Structure formats: C-alpha cells, structure tokens
Amino acid sequence: LAKTTQPISMDSYEGQEVNITCSHNNIATNDYITWYQQFPSQGPRFIIQGYKTKVTNEVASLFIPADRKSSTLSLPRVSLSDTAVYYCLVGGGKLIFGQGTELSVKP
Amino acid sequence: ETGVTQTPRHLVMGMTNKKSLKCEQHLGHNAMYWYKQSAKKPLELMFVYSLEERVENNSVPSRFSPECPNSSHLFLHLHTLQPEDSALYLCASSQGRWSRGGTEAFFGQGTRLTVV
C-alpha cells in the first residue's frame, strides 16, 4: 500500500481558499486517490476521488499532477463548518487512514 | 444519514462484561469494515469482510471477535476488555472488490465505548 504524507495541521480564515497537499510517492498504477472529511466523534465522510488531472464536485476540487506522486485537495471559500480532519487515501478497499490534516478555520 | 447504522451509540461496560456492537447497512454493499479510533488519533483498521468472508485482521487482540452473518450486518463481540480499549468504534461499508482502487466508503456514526 502506498504511504501518504500530509501536513499535521493547517489554519485558515473564513472565505479563503484552502489547499491541502498529500504526498504518495509509491502510488501504484491502478490506485485511486480519495479524500475524506471527519468531524469530532463522527465517522469520516467521502469528499472527492480521482485518478489523474483534475476532478471537481460541489464541495471541492482535486488536482493530480501527471506523475501522480502527490495530490492537492482544494476547498474554495472555507467556512467555520469546514473545520475538521481531512484524510488522503491511496489504493483500494483496505481503506488505510493516515494521520490526516487538522484544518482549523477562524472567523 | 449515510445508510450505515451502528448501535448502540454509547456503551459503558466493565472489564468482565460481554457486549456486542452492531452495524447494519442498507446500501447493497458487499464489503464491511471495523475501525477503532482513540482520542486524537487516526482510525485504526481492525477487520475487513468481503462477501461475508474475513479478508483482513490487523493483529487485533482476541478479546475482539467480529462476526458477519450476511452482507448487510456486522457485529463486534467484546469480552474482558481493558480500559485502553475505550474508543470510538466505527463501521463502514463499500461496494466492489475490496482490493481494487476507487472505493468510496460510507461510515456509521460510531459507538463510543468506555471500559471501566
């Protein structure tokens, strides 16, 4: 399984765009990249998934460079309710979670 | 509401008790997972069932015993637990072959377990 590395924490202010980068140097050819969001005392929630280039949905965008050794989750105009832990996962259904990035959005 | 329901939501048990956690999914998925999350820590994968067969067991102590009677239900039987087993226990389900990429998992709300 590809190991992922993310910043432990990030701070932002309401209305700003937040970019969280995940490194996954050993990603395999058939691995997808998936991001989850987790609020305290709740289960993680799927945000977005991609294989290459760019994916966008109503919540976020995911940018994946050509070598796929990293990916960036972009949250446009964050609000206080986006304060959560964000996890980057690579690979199949084993769903191995790393330490995640604790995002704190301030007024 | 994610389609994955866990009961109970909260559980306090003594170290000599036996209890069970239940997870039910109504999404038609064929893979189910148990995770443990201690305070301020990442999720630890405990067990994975695919098509009712256990395909992953991450060196979990035998005081935790999973059971998957069908693809919609998953249990975690607990006995003689220790205080360090106090944590949030999360169940998840997904569709498709568990070992392939591109899996979106749906999580339950979790059971907050306290061992006294």
pLDDT in tens, A31-87: 889 999 999 889 999 999 999 999 999 999 999 999 999 999 999 999 999 999 999
Contacts of A88 (CB under 8 A, 6+ apart): A4, A6, A20, A22, A24, A33, A34, A35, A71, A73, A98, A100
Which residues in chain B touch residue A51, judged by CB atoms under 8 angstroms apart? Answer: 101-102
Higher pLDDT, A28 or B113: B113
pLDDT at res. A75 = 98
pLDDT at res. B104 = 84
Which residues in chain B touch residue A95, judged by CB atoms under 8 angstroms apart? Answer: 33, 45, 48, 92, 94, 103, 105
pLDDT at res. B96 = 64
pLDDT at res. B54 = 80
pLDDT at res. A105 = 97
DSSP sequence for B36-68: EE-TTS--EEEEEEETTEEEEE-S--TTEEEEE
B80-100: pLDDT as tens digits: 999 999 999 999 998 865 545
B13-72: pLDDT as tens digits: 999 999 999 999 999 998 899 999 998 788 999 999 987 778 777 789 999 999 999 989
Q: Which of B43, B99, B107, B112 to mutate to test the interface with A (most CBs of A within 10 A)?
A: B43
Q: Predicted confidence band at A92 (pLDDT cuts at 50, 70, 90)?
A: low
pLDDT at res. B55 = 75
pLDDT at res. A35 = 95
Residue B102 pLDDT greater than 80, yes or no? no
* Separation between Cα atoms, residue A38 and residue A21, nearest integer Å: 17
Task: List the one residue out of A72, A73, A76, A82 whose CA is nearest residue A104.
Answer: A82
* Separation between Cα atoms, residue B63 and residue B88, nearest integer Å: 16
Q: Which of B50, B107, B109 to mutate to test the interface with A (most CBs of A within 10 A)?
A: B107
